[in-house]
Amino acid sequence: MKYVYFAFLLLLLSACSIPSSTPESNLENTATPPLPDTPTTLAETPASRQQTWDESPEAIVIQYDEFGGLMAVRKGAHVPLWTLYGDGLVVFVKEGPPTIGFDRQVWGGRIDEAAIQELLSFIEKSGFFSLQAEYKAPAFLPQNTEDGSALVLAPNPQAGGDQPTGVIVANFSGRNQRVLVYPASWDEAPEAYKSVRKRLLAIRPSDAKLFTPTAFHIEAIEVTAEITPTPPTWLFEDVELSQRIDITPEQAQAIHAFLKKYGDLVESQDQIYRVNLLASPPR
């Protein structure tokens, strides 16, 4: 009996010394170790990159224009088809009677920074900066004869001399690109040029207004060739014809109506002049 009691006592002591299966002191050791820091910044793509540009009012960020062909351009009166300036001003032209002092009807409005960012990202993503400096439609294209017996070169109808040349200029995010395409609406032009051209010509700011110039001047050049019949007499005694003279908006209105009716050749004091009425541009 004595030995049984002693064995029971040993068994009881052993049970008391067994540690708990989840001792509090071991919780830290069994917890999941923290994950190492992992980078969360994704590689920038043209669509996500923040574009930068010269934000001064005079800086041209994007511009599209056409020149040449049968387009008649008066010196000093030309306004590009579409221009975005650094401060968000967009100057563009519309069909209709030309604004006094210009060769086109001039409009202006503003787009905000978000719209500028979106436009510049679109241009970059289009592949515009990978284009060559110039593209030109071939003057001749291969064409089968009527009977199909031979292949000959025929004039390309899209490459006639009466077509204008298109030019897109882009200056942003440290890059400068100027691309010329002839003709401006060439079907086979690079897709990047066509998509950017289409996008620019479609942008019309919501606050756009017809531009009303406030500063005008005229330039008069003496014509030495004999003109028959003699041009109409210059009627504005308070505006002396000279190489350049500033005039008021009221005078500009009257002179514009006169030149529109009679043309730009006038006679004053037995001398014939070619008169050019000009206005200060929006920028």
Tens of each residue's pLDDT in the chain, 283 residues: 444 344 443 444 444 444 444 333 333 333 333 434 434 333 445 555 699 999 999 999 999 999 987 767 778 899 999 999 999 999 999 999 999 999 999 999 999 999 999 999 999 999 999 999 999 998 766 777 676 766 666 666 666 668 899 999 999 999 999 999 999 999 999 999 999 999 999 999 999 999 999 999 999 999 999 888 999 999 999 998 988 999 999 999 999 999 999 999 999 999 999 999 999 999 8
pTM over 0.85: no
Look up residue 115 and give its two tokens: 């719209």
For residue 28, what pLDDT is reported? 35
For residue 92, what pLDDT is reported? 98
Query: pLDDT, tens digit, for every residue of 5-44?
Result: 444 434 444 444 444 443 333 333 333 334 344 343 334 4
Q: What is the largest CA-CA distance in the chain?
A: 155
| Inter-CA distances, 135 with 25, 118, 187, Å | 78, 27, 12
Beta-carbon-side half-sphere exposure of residue 123 (alpha carbons within 13 Å): 29
Tokens 């070169």: give the residue: 153
What is the rounded CA–CA span in Å between residue 119 and residue 172?
11
Residue type, 101: G
For the chain, the domains span: 60-141+153-210, 216-279
For residue 27, what pLDDT is reported? 30
Question: Among 3.30.420, 1.10.1060, 2.70.98, 3.30.1560, what is the CATH number of 60-141+153-210?
Answer: 3.30.1560
Nearest alpha carbon to residue 219 among 104, 106, 80, 101:
101
